[in-house]
Amino acid sequence: MTTLLTAGDIIDRSAQFYRLHLGKVLRVTVWSLAAGLAAGVAENLLLWLGQTDTLIGKIVLLLTGLPVMAVSVFVTLLLTRAMVREIKGAERCPAATWRDAARSFWPMAATLILVTALIFLGGMAFLVPGVIFWTWFAFAPVAVATGDAGVKKSFGLSRELVAGKFFSVLWRLAAPMIFFFLLQLVMLLLTTLLLQGAVRGVWSIEILVAGAPLWFLLLLSLIMEVIRTAVLPLFVFSATMLYLALSDAKPEPTKPEQV
């Protein structure tokens, strides 16, 4: 049985993979950036006009938010497939990769919705069930994205990978996510602090909308969206890398001896 990667290995190798394939990653994540920027412009315009709580404002936010979620699912699919293809050395033309991702979009979206619902319901009941469901089913979307399982079988496959090593997997899953989240949070807070201090003379990590010019809100939104988009692949790569490591560590089924 193969020894599992440590949490530090997952963080390091995810960052290394990102750096080595930066060009390919940027070509994929640019779609997420474009969708996020469009939503950010709409949101900041509504904030500036004071229309966020109106019916029209809520409709606009919904119409701009749905494409962001759809693009995020598609980008996650492409990034996951790209990592698996590179690690396994499988050759695949770009057009075929996009076609495969398009076919997997709805199964992937359905899996993500189901996993999110289970985690949310578990968390609402008590924190522990939410953590358990997250650890059990975290790899269901990855299994669908890689084509290893459909929606139904992906949940069983994910649980099978975690079986017998729950806490070990929990640590290796949570530690990279927390690390990348804190990295993103620090960059967002520093951006807000420095930009507001330099432009408005207000040294605060809270975005102060009152009295802010529209161009400033749009600039801040642009920079923050770039940061979010830049960190997104690291979350995808860490989960995918752990999934592949668990798949490799899974013992091969024993065949019955022939008499």
pLDDT tens, residue by residue, 170-202? 999 999 999 999 999 999 999 888 888 887 777
Mean pLDDT of 151-170: 92
How many residues in the chain?
Answer: 259
- Under a CB-based contact definition with an 8 Å cutoff, are residues 82 and 21 in contact? yes
Is the pLDDT at 259 greater than 70, yes or no? no
Is the pLDDT at 1 greater than 50, yes or no? no
Which of 9-13, 136-140, 157-161, 212-216 has the least mean pLDDT? 212-216
Is the pLDDT at 84 greater than 90, yes or no? no
* pLDDT at residue 249 in the model: 75
pLDDT tens, residue by residue, 95-136? 677 787 788 899 999 999 999 999 888 888 778 888 999 999
* pLDDT at residue 253 in the model: 53
* pLDDT at residue 236 in the model: 94
Chain mean position to CA 212: 31
Which of 42-46, 104-108, 157-161, 253-257 has the least mean pLDDT? 253-257
pLDDT tens, residue by residue, 14-61? 999 999 999 989 989 999 999 988 888 888 888 878 887 888 888 888
Percent of the chain residues topping a pLDDT of 90: 42
Of 128 and 154, more confident: 154
* pLDDT at residue 93 in the model: 65
Q: What secondary structure does DSSP assign to the chain, as a single string?
A: -PPPPPHHHHHHHHHHHHHHTHHHHHHHHHHHHHHHHHHHHHHHHHHHHT-TTSHHHHHHHHHHHHHHHHHHHHHHHHHHHHHHHHHHT----HHHHHHHHHHTHHHHHHHHHHHHHHHHHHHHH-HHHHHHHHHHHTTHHHHHHHTS--HHHHHHHHHHHHTT-HHHHHHHHHHHHHHHHHHHHHHHHHHHHHHHHHHHS---SS---TT--HHHHHHHHHHHHHHHHHHHHHHHHHHHHHHHHHHHHSPPPPPPPP-
Mean pLDDT of 135-147: 92
* pLDDT at residue 64 in the model: 85
Q: Where residue 257 falls among pLDDT bands split at 50, 70, 90? A: very low
* pLDDT at residue 186 in the model: 94
